[in-house]
Amino acid sequence: MRHFPLFMDLRGRRVLVLGTGKVAHRKAEPLARAGAVVEMADRFDAGQLAGCALAIGADAAETELVALFEAARAAGIPVNTVDRPALCSFITPAIIDRDPITIAVSSGGAAPVLARLLRAKIEALIPPAYGRLATLADSFKAEIRRRLPDMGLRRRVLERLLGGRAADLVFAGREDAARAEFARALESDEPARGMVALVGAGPGAADLLTIRAQRLLGEADVIVHDRLVTPEVLDMARRDAERIYVGKARANHCMAQEDINALLVRLAREGRKVVRLKGGDPFVFGRGGEEAEALAEAGVDVEVVPGVTAALACAAQAGIPLTHRDVARSVTFVTGHTKQGRLDMDFAPLVRSKTTLAVYMGIVSLPQLRDGLLAHGLPAGTPAALIERGGTPRQRELRGSLDELVDQAAAWSTRGPTLVLIGDAVGRGVGWSRTVPAMALVGQAFRPAVA
């Protein structure tokens, strides 16, 4: 280790920053945030160093920077000059600020860019609410010491709280419940209570998970998932987490909804951290509402984590705007699911309004959908698209008028989850995928045609 890391208390201490440009301000900002009295100057004068805790050389003239370095070193004041290792007695790390938690990353000056990239990764991993969790723990510190004098027991209780439900509650913005959890843990030594997170897995690509979903997957004891959840997403879960498949292909339910609800309740009551992972968003045609109700009724804590729903993922990757100033002023999510073979849909308002229709589970009932819409006055030539496995590298699209799609759908489908988009906006947008296979588009979707 070339440099020794430490955290310095700068409250009320003077820090000299040499330079008044952009770089100097960038350096001054976190110092001021830490409570330092920052003084900035363009020229160096030895008197300025008196009483300083630190000195920083930023965007000042070379002779000034050298003079600062030499004077500071002679006076025993730590000094750092931006991008000039030879003029430094200390280096500044990349900082992840989750006050009061602070994480500092350094490459020892070897590759500051790498340290910054690493910082971005850690930023993504540590929820902003970590600071609030630390503050909450701090507010219980004295009481915890008093009630749990045994250090081993204290550590176990704290680990359980901070790595478990209390943390989840803080991250979900429910600080009051988290406080109650702390209080309860101090009152009794009852075992940890489980919790269920209904988590949106997005359309199937692992990098379309939310950061919150990814964190919960990394912490789960058990993951209950269904057919829409792809192996790539499941790979993001903790290696030793138990995985339970509860299926659910159309008309071929692998487990009845009531049994899934009961399973979730039982797992939570065993004190486990359960992630109920559902394709897309859990509250969009996923029966997540019923699961949340059943859990709440059983007195189990539930957290709902949104996911990228199929309509958004399909449209984005196909380059289809869901709303468009001129032609579509709303988006409507509907289900094409039939009851006893009948499509129960109120067509008139759908046709009347300038809307883009996103039909989930609609490929089987497509002829009925077309008939209903046309009978209520939708022009037969209205643009439409079928999008299969949307939002993944295997996305496929079929575009045409609604009429054309009905004829071609069966032959075209490869039985993957398929969304139907209908409306004038479907004919707009960038539509690259018509000529370029979806795979080739990954990563270049938003590159402008002319640089």
Which of 19, 57, 383, 391 is close enough to bind ligand SAH by CB under 6 A? 391
Q: What DSSP state is assigned to residue 190?
A: P
Q: Establish whether 346 is a catalytic residue.
A: no
Which of 280, 372, 383, 423 is close enough to bind ligand SAH by CB under 6 A? 280
Which token pair is 261?
A: 């609800």
Q: Taking CB under 6 A as the rule, does residue 387 contact ligand SAH?
A: yes
Which of 417, 425, 428, 438 is close enough to bind ligand SAH by CB under 6 A? 417
Q: Taking CB under 6 A as the rule, does residue 93 contact ligand SAH?
A: no
Which of 27, 389, 396, 399 is close enough to bind ligand SAH by CB under 6 A? 389
Among residues 310, 320, 276, 306, the alpha carbon closest in space to that of 424 is found at 320
- Phi/psi of residue 224, nearest 5 degrees: -105, 115
Catalytic pick among 27, 59, 168, 248: 248
Neighbours of 430 (CB within 10 A): 13
Which token pair is 433?
A: 């995928």
Q: Taking CB under 6 A as the rule, does residue 137 contact ligand SAH?
A: no
Which of 81, 107, 309, 433 is close enough to bind ligand SAH by CB under 6 A? 309
Which token pair is 189?
A: 């030594």
Question: Which of 416-425 are b and which e, b meaning 16 or more Cβ less than 10 Å from the residue's Cβ?
Answer: bbbbbbbbbb
Q: How far apart are CA 129 and CA 173, in angstroms?
A: 8
Q: Taking CB under 6 A as the rule, does residue 129 contact ligand SAH?
A: no
Where in 211-240 is the site for ligand SAH (CB under 6 A)? 228
Interacting residues of 215 by C-beta distance below 8 A, sequence separation 6+: 125, 127, 171
Binding piece for ligand SAH, criterion CB under 6 A, among 90-98, 116-124, 215-223, 272-280: 272-280
Catalytic pick among 27, 59, 168, 226: 226
317/355 with CB nearer ligand SAH: 317
Using DSSP's 3-state secondary structure scheme, residue 334 falls into: strand
Cis ω before 100 (30° cut-off from 0)? yes
19/203 with CB nearer ligand SAH: 203
Q: How many residues bind ligand SAH (CB under 6 A)?
A: 22
93/204 with CB nearer ligand SAH: 204
Which of 360, 370, 373, 405 is close enough to bind ligand SAH by CB under 6 A? 360
Q: How far apart are CA 345 and CA 438, in angstroms?
A: 32
Q: Taking CB under 6 A as the rule, does residue 317 contact ligand SAH?
A: no
Which of 356, 390, 409, 438 is close enough to bind ligand SAH by CB under 6 A? 390
Q: How far apart are CA 440 and CA 134, in angstroms?
A: 45
Among residues 95, 127, 97, 129, the alpha carbon closest in space to that of 112 is found at 95
Q: Establish whether 226 is a catalytic residue.
A: yes
Report, as residue numbers or ranges, the catalytic residues: 226, 248
Kindly list the residues in this chain that would bind ligand SAH in the complex (CB under 6 A).
203-204, 228, 278-281, 284-286, 309-310, 314, 360-361, 387, 389-391, 417-419
